[in-house]
Structure 1
Amino acid sequence: MIAMRAVLLALLLGCVASTQGAVVNCAPAAGRFTVLLSEPSGGALADRVAVERFLNKLQFELDQERDERWINPGATPVAFRACPKRAPALDGSEFSAEVVEQLNDQRVLMEVWGVVERDGTPPALSAQINYLLVPLRFAADQRETVPAGLQRLRYPEAGAAPTTDAVQLISKPLDLDAFIASALGLKLLRERAYEPAHANLCRAHSLLGAMLKRPITGRSKTELTALHGFVQESAGRTLREALADAAYPRTGLLRLQKPAQPCAEGQ
């Protein structure tokens, strides 16, 4: 009986483990802000070869074939890093305060993963993609009042054409740019790099506003709306902190801005 219980317990633990993700180490780009591209789950990618081909193609697409609408802070640009075998659970449960702190210290801005499925007749792809904004989750872990650090979006949206290309399905320039600008602005604000922080937060406010005009519904829209308001508030906070900082130059450009209208120039 004891042996049987041990076998049943082992099977149960094996089933539980199989439902959890795996957050293996993925080294960020040296000397740069980094966005980690982790493995999606789901049945759309048939095997390891397909998964790694997808990640490499996605990184190439994001590195080479798109416009960057965030504001790179001088000599510290944003890099994308494909992370084979790094496969977080869909609920992001592995991202403890310790894991998030390590990512934040490594200047990881965001991690992207999710689930990609193939269904329908003829077969087409659908996905839920998660965007973990590391500076936002780090702030939440410090007991700061912030919106959800894990943003979730479903693709394709209502009315969008179906696709069988997983990279084309999820490599949405507007969405990625909006979240990167948000995370980068918040990270730079914490580092007291006021001018690029303000520029990115205002850019994020504009891009998130454009996203909210799309047919996004439910929890995704609620969380996106909260982030939209928060980045504008943070742009105002950036101005107030810059003007109160004795080290901020007397000729600094932010002295021309008004905290009550932090993004008045439509950045």
Structure 2
Amino acid sequence: MLRSCLPALLLLAASTQAAVVNCAPASSGFTVLLSEPSGGALPDRAAVERFLNKLQFQLDQERDERWINPGAAPVAFRACLKRAPALDGSEFSAEVVEQLNDQRVLLEVWGVVERDGTPPALSAQINYLLVPLRFAADQRETVPAGLQRLRYPEAGAAPTQDAVQLVSRPLDLDAFIATSLGLKLLRERAYEPAHANLCRAHGLLGAMLKRGLTGRSKAELTSLHAHVLASATRTLREALADPAYPKAGLLRLQQPAQPCAGGE
């Protein structure tokens, strides 16, 4: 019986490996990976490729980001063709996450996009893997969920037939990028840009929580919101305790009791 099942098991293993093919990050700076979504709204390869390429172009070229780039290290988006993680993120082992973290990947975005209802309209669950947060969890640190899940359209939003318009949520992406960038820079002891991004993320996440989210999404986002503020406090304390931090450093003007006063 086991021998007869072996070919099917090998085929399943091969398909799982194919779902997380490598996607080259930016050669410098930081990267957000845009991986392929599943679901019936994108019926063929051509539709998937058009979606990812249009999404990357829109995120790279057609808006003003609200995270804070640390000097000459910008954040670039990469369309990852043929990279299609499972919806539960089960492929992201500690080894995979460590590799992404070493490559300075901040975020991976994927999910499922469906077309249903009468008249038909698009809906989606989009996953956001915050790589520095998942990396911290793999190091046995106490942190919130590194995989945040959100559903679109949000309650009360007008229906759309454009998948890119549905999922290219500037507020959400900017909040998660600022969070990941702040946490990554804190681990690298780049205190001032870490603090700036964590405080920016705290404000953006707070705006997201005003949307009336429910259930697991709300609980996980609320936990992340609190963690970001605590991390801003930690950034101040570590900077002030670090002998290498400049005596005229701007963070010496901040109070740990109000780590983001005037900075969101």
Please tell me whether residue 210 in structure 1 is matched to residue 207 in structure 2: yes
Structure 1 residues not aligned, in runs of 5+: none
Q: In structure 2, how many angstroms separate the alpha carbons of the residues matched to 1:9 and 1:20?
A: 17
Please tell me whether residue 239 in structure 1 is matched to residue 236 in structure 2: yes
Q: 1:14: Cα distance to partner?
A: 4.8
Contact 1:21 1:89 in 2 (8 A): no
Q: In structure 2, how many angstroms separate the alpha carbons of the residues matched to 1:77 and 1:34?
A: 8
User: Who is 1:226 aligned against?
Assistant: 223
- CA offsets 1:201-233 (integer angstroms, 9 cap, x no match): 000000000000002110000000000000000
Q: 1:55: Cα distance to partner?
A: 0.3
Q: 1:19: Cα distance to partner?
A: 7.8
- CA offsets 1:29-65 (integer angstroms, 9 cap, x no match): 0011000000000111011111011000000000011
Query: Which of 144, 148, 159 is equivalent to 1:147?
Result: 144
Please tell me whether residue 120 in structure 1 is matched to residue 117 in structure 2: yes
Q: State the secondary structure of the residue aligned to 1:75.
A: coil
Q: 1:10: Cα distance to partner?
A: 3.6
Query: Which of 31, 48, 63 is equivalent to 1:51?
Result: 48
Q: State the secondary structure of the residue aligned to 2:199.
A: helix
Aligned pair count? 264
Query: Which of 175, 178, 184 is equivalent to 1:187?
Result: 184
Q: In structure 1, how many angstroms separate the alpha carbons of the residues matched to 2:61 and 2:221?
A: 27
User: Who is 1:105 aligned against?
Assistant: 102
Please tell me whether residue 27 in structure 1 is matched to residue 28 in structure 2: no
Q: 1:266: Cα distance to partner?
A: 4.2
Segments of 4+ in structure 1 off by > 2 A? 5-21
Q: In structure 2, how many angstroms separate the alpha carbons of the residues matched to 1:9 and 1:120?
A: 40
User: Who is 2:170 aligned against?
Assistant: 173
Q: In structure 2, how many angstroms separate the alpha carbons of the residues matched to 1:200 and 1:8?
A: 51
User: Who is 2:197 aligned against?
Assistant: 200
The letter of the residue matching 1:216 is L
Q: In structure 1, how many angstroms separate the alpha carbons of the residues matched to 2:111 and 2:56?
A: 16
User: Who is 2:36 aligned against?
Assistant: 39
Change in Cα spacing, 1:264 to 1:238, as seen in structure 2 (3 Å) is same
Q: 1:129: Cα distance to partner?
A: 0.2
Structure 2 residues not aligned, in runs of 5+: none
Q: State the secondary structure of the residue aligned to 2:189.
A: coil
Contact 2:196 2:263 in 1 (8 A): no
Contact 1:21 1:88 in 2 (8 A): no
Q: 1:85: Cα distance to partner?
A: 0.1
Query: Which of 256, 259, 263 is equivalent to 2:256?
Result: 259
TM-score (norm 1): 0.95
TM-score (norm 2): 0.96
Q: State the secondary structure of the residue aligned to 1:109.
A: strand
User: Who is 2:82 aligned against?
Assistant: 85
The letter of the residue matching 2:100 is L
Give the alignment's Cα RMSD to 1 decimal: 1.6
Q: State the secondary structure of the residue aligned to 1:36.
A: strand
The letter of the residue matching 1:30 is S
- CA offsets 1:93-112 (integer angstroms, 9 cap, x no match): 00000000000000000000
Contact 2:123 2:152 in 1 (8 A): yes
Q: In structure 2, how many angstroms separate the alpha carbons of the residues matched to 1:187 and 1:40?
A: 26
Q: In structure 2, how many angstroms separate the alpha carbons of the residues matched to 1:104 and 1:20?
A: 20
Please tell me whether residue 94 in structure 1 is matched to residue 91 in structure 2: yes
Contact 2:111 2:126 in 1 (8 A): yes
Contact 1:71 1:200 in 2 (8 A): yes
Q: In structure 2, how many angstroms separate the alpha carbons of the residues matched to 1:16 and 1:102?
A: 21
53-62 or 9-18, which deviates more: 9-18
